[in-house]
């Protein structure tokens, strides 16, 4: 009998897919060997790209940018090639675990280029050009010698209340996206062609396949979740619109129509937190100032992180390794440029976890640290899984876990860690809840509609000549917003949001906003908490810690409903936990809106 070595074994060193003759009929053994070789190769590349990107982010120079770009290009090329090769095993009857790994591999990239090398280069160049247009984007006010970058405009949007100035900045920033429009049209053609070569109908189908649900089921599930929380969003929208109408007049903000998008304190209208002073309770704001508490306690940057570590230790997690404290970046260096945006890193996919952020001694960064450490503890928990399973159960879980931990920063938690003398009475919580709703609840429809638009673009349901019109139809339908100024088909307003030119899937953020409250409610039940859900902290709960660890350790080794069941006791996502959390606020909003016309 002639022995035929599994074709995939030849990939271990070179990812040389051409070594297998097309006539060879693949076997289950071939698929098994292919996956093992692919995992070994990808792990090497993940580590190399991660290390290069860490150096680039913490020591920005032309050289470190070039090194990081080179490492990422090598990773993307290998992943694309492996994903294309994985499609060769589609016709086999594979064991479920092996089939899942092949699916994870095929859906691991947000865009896969066609097999033609010339088209691969073209797609890479288009993505780089779109990101470059966004990154270099600026608004240059007429008659002004200085242009404003996005960071400067975001700061102004947070405080500016002159409507003319806001309209100018809002429309000026969106001019940045106009040159992207023909690029995006070609991007859709190429990325769809690459997705079809892997067996998917289009790029949107490839994205949805990672959720391991029947065709059409994910879209239906997202709409079901949205309908659960829509009444709360509409109540918040009604209150905010009425308060803005009082400030700007009914000629600017109609009493019963969409809110002008430039008045919400955020360039995209996705978070309304900067409106708190304008729309908050007349009786005052929040009952305590965490920033002042931290500064009064003389907490420094490292101690801010120690608070987060002690939170996880109280749940039974091992302390962070010494390398975390040696290698993380906590303070902006005085001698070099760094990327200050907070992020969590897993450099070796085993134990070399770190965070990178330029910590300020304030309430926002205190919450962010707990969030980022949620990522790090997730990374440590699933480090024993196979390489393709060293990830979250689905892409909403990672963000959801970080935010779940942040929800436990309650007045009671601050008392237990010595930052607050006594917790204020719960009847003073409306300010805190409204502040959080202006972030969490206001975001929900935006988190949903970005991919609703893209999926229809990828499928052809939205033609290029309707890119902009369809975008605003969805924004009015879901968010109840209208543009600050008339928009034409020449424009490309979706491109003014980073995730569109960068081709970053966005549904994960909507799912994360749903899951964090569902996780929080389940863990509070496990902790035996009895009281308003927004006052629950799982700090020092052994049972909540045990349940959390069980889910985190699974990584992506099982379908996400299994992971959800491990932490929440159900296999179905459920947005009613958001309603439970914000119940006191919902009652207050009902009182405020009693004589108002709501809806749009």
What pLDDT, in 10s, does the model give residues 458-491? 999 999 999 999 999 999 999 999 999 999 999 9
- Which is catalytic among the residues 399, 412, 568, 586? 399
- 371 included as an active-site residue: yes
How far is the C-alpha of 173 from the C-alpha of 184, rounded, in Å?
Answer: 18
- In this structure, what DSSP letter does residue 497 have? S
> Dmax over Cα atoms in the chain, in whole Å?
87
- Which is catalytic among the residues 342, 423, 426, 583? 342
- Which is catalytic among the residues 118, 277, 341, 594? 341
Exposure class string for 147-180: b at 16+ Cβ within 10 A, else e: ebebeebbeebeebeebeebbbbbbbbbebbeeb
Residue 438, both tokens: 């202006």
Which pLDDT score, from 0 to 100, does residue 2 have? 34
Average pLDDT, the chain: 92
Which pLDDT score, from 0 to 100, does residue 20 have? 43
User: Measuring CA to CA, how many Å separate 112 from each of 119, 188, 347, 406?
Assistant: 11, 11, 25, 35
- Which is catalytic among the residues 239, 370, 371, 534? 371
Residue 51 burial class via C-beta count within 10 angstroms: exposed 0-12, middle 13-18, buried 19 and up: middle
Query: Percent of the chain having pLDDT more than 70?
Result: 96
Residue 307, both tokens: 């608070």
Q: Residue 128, Cα to own-chain centre: how many angstroms?
A: 21
* Residue 272 or residue 5, greater confidence: 272
Most confident range (mean pLDDT) of 133-147, 422-436, 550-564 is 550-564
- Which is catalytic among the residues 237, 262, 370, 375? 375
What pLDDT, in 10s, does the model give residues 384-422? 999 999 999 999 999 899 899 999 999 999 999 999 999
> Which of the four pLDDT bands, split at 50, 70 and 90, describes residue 8?
very low
What pLDDT, in 10s, does the model give residues 547-581? 999 999 999 999 999 999 999 999 999 999 999 99
For residue 403, give the nearest of 184, 577, 230 by alpha carbon.
Answer: 577
Residue 506, both tokens: 């966005």
- 372 included as an active-site residue: yes
What pLDDT, in 10s, does the model give residues 75-119? 888 998 999 899 899 899 999 999 999 999 999 989 988 888 899
- 499 included as an active-site residue: yes
Q: Is the pLDDT of residue 582 over 90?
A: yes
How far is the C-alpha of 80 from the C-alpha of 37, rounded, in Å?
Answer: 15
- 375 included as an active-site residue: yes
Choose the weakest-confidence range: 210-214, 280-284, 492-496, 545-549: 280-284
- 243 included as an active-site residue: no
Which pLDDT score, from 0 to 100, does residue 272 have? 97
Residues 6+ apart with CB under 8 A from 68: 49, 52, 53, 55, 56
* Residue pointed to by tokens 């290698």: 327
Which pLDDT score, from 0 to 100, does residue 304 have? 97
- Which is catalytic among the residues 134, 184, 467, 509? 509
What pLDDT, in 10s, does the model give residues 20-77? 444 478 999 999 999 999 999 999 999 999 999 999 889 988 898 889 888 888 888 8
3-state SS class at 344:
strand
How far is the C-alpha of 273 from the C-alpha of 262, rounded, in Å?
Answer: 14
What pLDDT, in 10s, does the model give residues 234-282? 999 999 999 999 999 999 999 899 999 999 999 999 999 999 999 999 8
Structural element, H or E, at residue 28:
helix 28-58
- Which is catalytic among the residues 499, 540, 543, 565? 499
CB atoms < 10 A from the CB of 539, how many?
22
Give the long-range contacts of residues 357-361, CB within 8 A, separation 24 or more. Answer: 357/329, 357/330, 358/329, 358/330, 358/331, 358/332, 359/301, 359/304, 359/305, 359/330, 359/331, 361/291, 361/294, 361/295, 361/299, 361/300, 361/301, 361/304
Contact between 546 and 316 under an 8 Å Cβ cutoff? The reply is yes
- 239 included as an active-site residue: no
Residue 103, both tokens: 């699916």
What pLDDT, in 10s, does the model give residues 156-212? 988 899 999 999 999 999 999 999 999 999 999 999 999 999 999 999 999 999 999
3-state SS class at 540:
coil
- 399 included as an active-site residue: yes
How far is the C-alpha of 554 from the C-alpha of 392, rounded, in Å?
Answer: 8
* Residue 287 or residue 159, greater confidence: 159
Most confident range (mean pLDDT) of 4-8, 62-66, 78-82, 518-522 is 518-522
- In this structure, what DSSP letter does residue 468 have? H
How far is the C-alpha of 236 from the C-alpha of 445, rounded, in Å?
Answer: 12
How far is the C-alpha of 187 from the C-alpha of 133, rounded, in Å?
Answer: 15
C-alpha angle 386-388-390 in degrees, rounded to nearest 5: 70
Residues 6+ apart with CB under 8 A from 32: 6, 8, 98
Exposure class string for 352-365: b at 16+ Cβ within 10 A, else e: bbbbbbbbbbbbeb
Which pLDDT score, from 0 to 100, does residue 284 have? 64
| pTM over 0.75, yes/no | yes
Which pLDDT score, from 0 to 100, does residue 416 have? 96
Backbone φ and ψ of 383, nearest 5°: -65, -20
- Which is catalytic among the residues 86, 372, 382, 512? 372
Which pLDDT score, from 0 to 100, does residue 288 have? 85
> Which of the four pLDDT bands, split at 50, 70 and 90, describes residue 285?
low
- 506 included as an active-site residue: no
Residue 254 burial class via C-beta count within 10 angstroms: exposed 0-12, middle 13-18, buried 19 and up: middle
């Amino acid at each position: 009998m002639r022995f035929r070595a599994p074709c995939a074994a030849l990939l271990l060193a070179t990812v040389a897919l051409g070594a297998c003759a097309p006539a060879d009929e693949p076997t289950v053994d071939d698929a098994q060997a292919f996956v093992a070789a692919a995992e070994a190769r990808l792990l090497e590349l993940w580590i190399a790209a991660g290390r290069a990107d860490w150096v680039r982010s913490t020591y920005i120079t032309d050289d470190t940018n070039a090194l990081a770009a080179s490492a990422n290009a090598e990773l993307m090329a290998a992943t694309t090639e492996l994903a294309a090769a994985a499609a060769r095993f589609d016709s086999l009857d594979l064991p479920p675990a092996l089939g899942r790994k092949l699916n994870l591999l095929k859906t691991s990239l947000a865009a896969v280029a066609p097999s033609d090398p010339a088209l691969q280069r073209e797609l890479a160049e288009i993505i780089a050009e779109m990101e470059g247009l966004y990154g270099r984007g600026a608004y240059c006010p007429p008659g002004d010698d200085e242009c404003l970058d996005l960071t400067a405009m975001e700061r102004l949007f947070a405080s500016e209340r002159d409507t003319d100035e806001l309209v100018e900045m809002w429309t000026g920033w969106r001019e940045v996206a106009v040159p992207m429009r023909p690029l995006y049209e070609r991007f859709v053609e190429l990325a769809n062609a690459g997705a079809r070569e892997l067996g998917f109908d289009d790029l949107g189908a490839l994205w949805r396949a990672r959720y391991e649900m029947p065709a059409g089921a994910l879209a239906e599930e997202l709409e079901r979740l949205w309908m659960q929380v829509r009444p709360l969003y509409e109540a918040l929208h009604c209150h905010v619109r009425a308060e803005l109408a009082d400030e700007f007049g009914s000629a600017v903000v109609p009493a019963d129509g969409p809110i002008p998008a430039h008045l919400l304190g955020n360039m995209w209208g996705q978070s309304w937190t900067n409106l708190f002073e304008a729309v908050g309770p007349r009786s005052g704001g929040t009952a305590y100032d965490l920033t002042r508490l931290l500064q009064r306690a003389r907490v420094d940057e490292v101690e801010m992180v120690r608070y987060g570590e002690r939170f996880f230790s109280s749940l039974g997690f091992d302390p962070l390794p010494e390398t975390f404290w040696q290698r993380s970046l906590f303070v902006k260096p005085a001698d070099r440029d760094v990327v200050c945006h907070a992020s969590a890193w897993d450099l070796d996919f085993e134990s070399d976890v770190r965070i990178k952020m330029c910590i300020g001694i304030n309430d926002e960064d205190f919450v962010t640290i707990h969030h980022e450490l949620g990522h790090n503890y997730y990374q440590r928990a699933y480090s024993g899984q196979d390489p393709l399973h060293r990830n979250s159960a689905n892409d909403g879980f990672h963000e959801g876990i970080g935010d779940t931990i942040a929800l436990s920063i309650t007045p009671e938690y601050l008392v237990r860690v010595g930052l607050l003398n006594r917790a204020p009475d719960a009847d003073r919580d409306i300010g805190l809840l409204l502040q959080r709703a202006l972030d969490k609840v206001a975001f929900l429809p935006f988190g949903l509609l970005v991919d609703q638009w893209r999926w229809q673009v990828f499928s052809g349901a939205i033609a290029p000549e309707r890119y902009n019109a369809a975008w605003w139809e969805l924004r009015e339908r879901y968010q109840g917003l209208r543009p600050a100024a008339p928009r034409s088909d020449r424009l490309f307003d979706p491109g003014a949001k980073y995730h569109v030119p960068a081709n970053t899937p966005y549904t994960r953020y909507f799912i994360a906003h749903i899951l964090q409250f569902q996780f929080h409610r389940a863990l509070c039940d496990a902790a035996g908490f009895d009281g308003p859900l927004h006052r629950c902290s799982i700090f020092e709960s052994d049972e909540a810690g045990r349940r959390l660890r069980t889910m985190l350790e699974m990584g992506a080794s099982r379908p996400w409903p299994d992971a959800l069941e491990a932490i929440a006791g159900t296999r179905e996502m459920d947005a009613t936990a958001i309603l439970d959390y914000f119940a006191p606020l919902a009652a207050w909003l009902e009182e405020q809106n009693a004589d108002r016309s709501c809806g749009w």
